[in-house]
Amino acid sequence: MHYSAEAIDLQNFLMSATSRMDRQEGQILATGQAVQDLVAQVSELSSRLQQLRFPPDIAESTAAVFLLLRG
């Protein structure tokens, strides 16, 4: 078969566009994973900061354990 120059140009353009979209999809997925990792780290740091600001009261903790053991 003989394809016209326009058909070959179109095919090359479509292949290039598909390749570019595949690369962009990979980059988007990697960015999404990085954002999820950062959110998890921020959440963990926030929890730790909360614990440092308001440490559990020993008396309350002891009472809670006692009540649990008493059952």
Q: Provide block-wise average pLDDT over 10 residues at a time, the chain (71 residues).
A: 89 98 98 98 94 74 73 63
pLDDT in the model for residue 51: 85
pLDDT in the model for residue 24: 98
- Residues 46, 39: Cα–Cα separation, whole Å: 10
pLDDT in the model for residue 61: 67
